[in-house]
């Protein structure tokens, strides 16, 4: 039985117990605001996520300043699991699908 996740001040909840996955490099949590590229090569999917630093200009406007936040490579099984988890989460946020939305 695992303990409840502990929230750390500067990162995601820490999972304790036998299911805990080690993070020896202490990777930072990244917020992404877009996807720059998706490449499918056989059984591998490569995605580049970006974040917008949106610096304030001297005239008071914002200018998009996209920078790479993460490069991910994963196989089709992981892609399907990510899709399924996102579908579950998004279905809880919306009461009905878009009329043009087709099931996968």
Any domain includes 67: yes
DSSP codes, 33-64? -EEEEEEEETTEEEEEEEEE--PBPTTS-B--
Predicted pLDDT of residue 1: 44
Which residue shows structure tokens 């099931």?
Answer: 103
User: Which of 56, 5, 53, 50 shows the shortest CA–CA distance to 32?
Assistant: 50
Predicted pLDDT of residue 104: 60
Any domain includes 72: yes
Count of domains for the chain: 1
Q: Which domain holds residue 85?
A: 30-93
Any domain includes 60: yes
Higher pLDDT: 3 or 102? It is 102
- List pLDDT tens digits, range 20-45: 778 888 888 888 888 999 999 999 99
Confidence grade of residue 53 (pLDDT, cut at 50, 70, 90): confident
Half-sphere exposure of 65 (CA within 13 A, CB side): 8
Backbone angles phi and psi of 19, in degrees to 5 = -85, -5
């Amino acid at each position: 039985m695992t303990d409840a996740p502990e929230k750390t001040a500067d990162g995601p909840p820490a999972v304790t117990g036998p299911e805990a996955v080690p993070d020896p490099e202490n990777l930072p949590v990244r917020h992404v605001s877009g996807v720059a590229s998706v490449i499918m090569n056989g059984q591998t999917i490569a995605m580049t996520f970006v974040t917008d630093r949106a610096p304030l200009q001297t005239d008071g406007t914002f200018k998009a300043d996209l920078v790479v936040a993460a490069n991910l490579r994963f196989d089709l099984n992981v892609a399907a699991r990510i899709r399924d988890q996102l579908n579950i989460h998004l279905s809880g946020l919306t009461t009905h699908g878009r009329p043009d939305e087709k099931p996968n």
